[in-house]
Amino acid sequence: MRFVDEFREPQLISKTAEEIRRIAGTERHYRMMEVCGGHTHAIYRFGLKDILPENIELIHGPGCPVCVLPMGRIDDGLSIAQDPDVIFAAFGDMMRVPGTQGSPLEHKARGMDVRIVYSPSDALKLARLNPHKHVMFFAIGFETTAPSTALTMMRAKAEGIRNFSVFCNHVTIIPAIRAILDSPDMRLDAFIGPGHVSTVIGCRPYEWIAKNERKPIVVSGFEPLDMLQSIVMLLRQLKAGEAKVENQYKRVVPWEGNLAALKAMSEVFQLRPYFEWRGLGFISQSALSVNHKYAEFDAEQRFSVPGIRVTDPMAAQCGEVLKGVLKPHQCKLFGRECTPEHPIGALMVSSEGSCAAYHNYEHRKAAMVSLSSIA
Amino acid sequence: MCLAIPGRIIEIPPDSQDSALVEVVGVRRKIDLGLLQDDPPVSGDWVLIHVGFAMSKISEQDAADQMSTLRMLGEIDGAMQEVQGYGVEGEKEDVSDAGTYESEMPGVKVN
């Protein structure tokens, strides 16, 4: 428990960790998936594994939107911006993500007009400031970011702006969880539910996981104490043979979600029949596209898009890692061909991907230990 | 992108109820309030901000806790970079960076 003293309320953390040990006992193994990439990052950063007993295993889920985006989508988006009259606007997270011909940043170095924005509404501002150019916003994210994109498009339509469009890559979390649960090699006992996605969708969409799949799920905050408390709540359910949706993050997540945000999403978007996820393959109704009312703001309808498909190398075992069948370091490419500097598989692409998080913290820790043992 | 940044609403311009001036540890930027239209915040309220949009109202204590979580996660610089990045070059309305981002929240050190 080497990090505990650095946390807020260290005594409460120690007490909660003690409670986890007491409930978990030693007779069985528990496998819990944290769905959200933010949780994955926090788990490694806080060294939570050092606090948890060995029979509680955390499996890192699909909740990193940058990681699960197929490389072909990046190629498609960049192909639209080959036109010198188009400005490619995207969040900073996207800038170093490789397409087959390089990342957006590398395209910028070759002369493409690529701009970092921190908000979709700033992409719209760029369009207002550059009336003779077309601004294409490369939209990405789960339900946490999709409402902001939707509202921006509603504002663009209300203002009658003609030189703005969205290349929509928004995905939805529930079908990804379903795909993981449907997988034949799935061996999960419970879920730590995403915090910020749930501020938008609320807790109801998870009820089928409890009812139909008989898996407990607890929506959790991001502090060490939040996650430990969520694990206690999951263990209590598992011990009692229950499967319920519980909300540990009540101070931020309302049970019903944010209705205004959901309304904005349904005004602008529709479900795609299917969408490809890196590491998981095609998942039906798992992503959003722009509906006919907003067609003029849909880059895919406005421009011709090549529809590039890039398959990940067979040797990369991202799918197995995502489903919890393999640990990141058990993949054949981990730390050799595939590193955060040169990502080959999806989960190495962003710091919220489980392989990158594992590489950044655990791998380094292991290297330090082996170095100190030599010394 | 997945950061949720706590900020305090400083001013809601009377002519535009959809936006507000917020302050995040000394940095002031305009954010969008459109996603809180069912339960609109007022000046002095704390909100969680995500990609330039207020996503939920929170208490002052939760705001301080969230800031300390960001610090523990090593995400403070990223969060401040995001907030400072709101607005586009040449059109950064309401900019008043108070220099270094000294925390005004009790018990929160930002560095």
Domain extent listing, chain B: 5-85
CA distance B83 to chain A (A): 8
Nearest chain A residue (CA) to B52: A119
Best CA proximity match to A118, nearest among B3, B95, B9: B3
Sign of CA dihedral A135, A141, A142, A144: negative
Contact A338, A355 (CB under 8 A): yes
CB contact under 8 A, A148 and B85: no
**Which residue in the set B1, B36, B58 is minimally distant from A91, CB to CB?**
B1
Residue A352: its chain B contacts at CB < 8 A? 2
Question: Domains in chain A, ordered, with CATH?
Answer: 1-312 (3.40.50.11740), 318-374 (no CATH)
Measured at the CA of A179, the angle between CA A176 and CA A182, to 5 degrees, comes to 150
Give the per-residue pLDDT at A317: 87
pLDDT of residue B92: 60
The minimum CA-CA distance between B81 and chain A, rounded to whole Å, is: 9
pLDDT of residue A6: 63
Architecture of the domain delimited by B5-85: Roll (2.30)
CB contact under 8 A, A38 and B50: no
Closest by Cα among A186, A211, A207 to A198: A207
**Range scoring the smallest mean pLDDT among A13-27, B9-23, B55-69, B93-107:** B93-107
Compute the distance between CA of residue A68 and CA of residue A346 in angstroms, rounded to an integer. Answer: 6
Top-confidence residue, A98 or B51: B51
**What number is the average pLDDT over the span B34-62?**
95
- Within its chain, how far is the Cα of A189 from the centroid? 21
Across the interface, whether the CB atoms of A261 and B35 are under 8 A apart is answered yes
Please check the confidence at residue B108 and state whether its pLDDT lies above 50.
Answer: no
* Alpha-carbon span A14 to A22, nearest angstrom: 12
pLDDT at A345: 80
A45 vs B58 pLDDT, higher one: B58
- Listed as ranges, residues in chain A with pLDDT below 50 are 1-2, 375
The β-bridge relationship of strands B5-11 and B19-24 is antiparallel
The partner residue sitting opposite B90, judged by closest CB among A129, A200, A261, is: A129
Please tell me the predicted confidence (pLDDT) of residue B107: 43
Q: Do B58 and A121 touch (CB under 8 A)?
A: no
- Minimum distance, in Å, between the CA of residue A240 and any CA atom of chain B: 32
CA dihedral (B10, B13, B14, B16) positive or negative? negative
pLDDT category of residue B74 using cuts at 50, 70 and 90? confident
Task: Provide the pLDDT for residue A372.
Answer: 57
Chains A and B form CB pairs within 8 A to the count of 119
Best mutation target among A118, A226, A228, A253 (most B Cβ atoms within 10 Å) is A118
Nearest CA in chain B to A93: B1
Nearest to B2 among A7, A37, A251 (CB): A37
Report the distance separating Cα B83 and Cα A118, nearest Å: 8
